Chain A
Amino acid sequence: MNYNSIISTLPYTKPFLFVDEISYIDKEGCTGTYTFPEDSYFYKGHFKDKPVTPGVILTECMAQIGLVCLGSFLLKSMEQDQIDPGEEIQIALSSTQMDFYIPVYPGEKVKVISRKEYFRFNKLKCSVEMFNKNDELVCRGTIAGMMKI
Chain B
Amino acid sequence: MTDKTILEKIKAIVTPYVQRKEGLDDFNDQTDFLTDLKINSANLVDVILDVEDEFNIEIDNTSMEGMLTAGDAKRIILAKIEN
Contacts and interface: CB of A to CB of B under 8 A. Distances in A.
A146 B49 contact: no
A120 B49 contact: yes
Interface stretch (B1-9, B27-35, B37-45, B70-78): B37-45
Contacts, number: 24
Interface in A52-95: 92, 94-95
A38 B45 CA distance: 40
Interface residues of B, number: 11
In terms of DSSP, what is the predominant structure of the interface of chain A? strand
A144 interface: yes
A116 to B, nearest CB: 14
Given A121-B61, A121-B64, A94 B40 contact: yes
Contacts of A145: 42
A118 B49 contact: yes
B42 A95 contact: yes
